[in-house]
């Protein structure tokens, strides 16, 4: 039997990159997956790929900053797949600038996607989780559920040009530790993975053509100057950036039954880097 057989997992931002790798990792372990992405196309592609491998998945596209989308994600899991056992708050992006050039919109947008959205999703899931825990306790069963929030080494140590992102990712650590104390009585393990440099479109080397992502009405530049990327790689003890699959492996550790007595913790998946 697979370790996550019969479990239902909600993974935000799972149409691409790390989120896609997490969705596949959990599906390979037997979980049914709610796939979320800002765009419906990538989400549908991941659903099809999981189904082609014999797994079960549903798409729920939309912006996690929208309260209605957060509630729909939970409903899709509970009504569409029969429950909700694992929540991975992965969706997000960076919108960098030094503080004197950062306006209120840029500041708030990053706090919204990295901190407000996870709060809204967890709040939306709370009634199902509390009711399920009460029923299981009355039946004499101990069932563990998992929340894995995603932070960053920027949230642990700060990073120049990322006051918004660093603040949001530090905030998710606080949310994780507080919720682990609130939800321990419901047998929910709430933990956090802080990523270092991972090979995604947000961390690609910049070429002659500047890359960007479309968020609302904004085209937000992404990528890292090649010389800066080389410098970062040189200070990673393992000597290179991580792959999305390696990042997904760190999340997986907090989802399996072997982590049932681990809660309120933060691990760094960064190849040993400390900045």
Active centre residues (catalytic): 165
Instruction: Tell me how far the alpha carbon of residue 159 is from its chain's centroid.
Output: 20
Cα(241)–Cα(232) distance, rounded to whole angstroms?
9
Cα(74)–Cα(256) distance, rounded to whole angstroms?
21
What is the 3-state composition of the chain as percent helix, strand, coil, each rounded to the nearest 5? 50, 20, 35
> Given the structure tokens 């790929």, which residue do they identify?
49
Helices (H), 139-225: 153-157, 163-183
Cα(60)–Cα(100) distance, rounded to whole angstroms?
37
Provide the β-strand partners of residue 8. 32
Cα(129)–Cα(182) distance, rounded to whole angstroms?
12
């Amino acid at each position: 039997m697979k370790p996550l057989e019969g479990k239902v997992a909600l993974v935000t931002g799972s149409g691409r990159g790390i989120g896609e790798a997490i969705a596949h990792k959990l599906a390979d372990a037997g979980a049914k997956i709610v796939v979320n992405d800002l765009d419906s196309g990538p989400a549908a592609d991941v659903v099809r790929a999981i189904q082609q491998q014999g797994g079960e998945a549903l798409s729920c596209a939309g912006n996690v900053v929208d309260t209605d989308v957060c509630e729909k994600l939970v409903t899709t899991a509970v009504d569409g797949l029969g429950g909700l056992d694992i929540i991975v708050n992965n969706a997000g992006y960076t919108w960098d600038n030094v503080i004197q050039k950062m306006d209120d919109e840029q500041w708030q947008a990053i706090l919204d996607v990295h901190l407000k959205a996870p709060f809204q999703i967890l709040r939306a899931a709370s009634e199902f989780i509390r009711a399920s825990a009460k029923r299981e306790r009355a039946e004499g069963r101990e069932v563990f559920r998992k929340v894995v929030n995603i932070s960053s080494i920027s949230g642990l140590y700060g990073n120049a040009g990322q006051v918004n992102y660093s603040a949001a990712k530090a905030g998710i650590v606080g949310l994780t530790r507080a919720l682990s104390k609130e939800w321990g009585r419901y047998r929910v393990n709430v933990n956090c993975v802080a990523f270092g440099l991972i090979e995604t479109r947000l961390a690609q080397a910049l070429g002659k053509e500047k890359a960007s992502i479309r968020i609302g009405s904004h085209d937000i530049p992404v990528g890292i100057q090649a010389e800066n990327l080389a410098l970062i790689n040189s200070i990673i003890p393992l000597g290179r950036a991580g792959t999305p699959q390696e990042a997904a492996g760190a999340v997986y550790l907090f989802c399996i039954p072997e982590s049932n007595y681990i809660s309120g913790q933060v691990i760094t998946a960064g190849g040993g880097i400390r900045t």
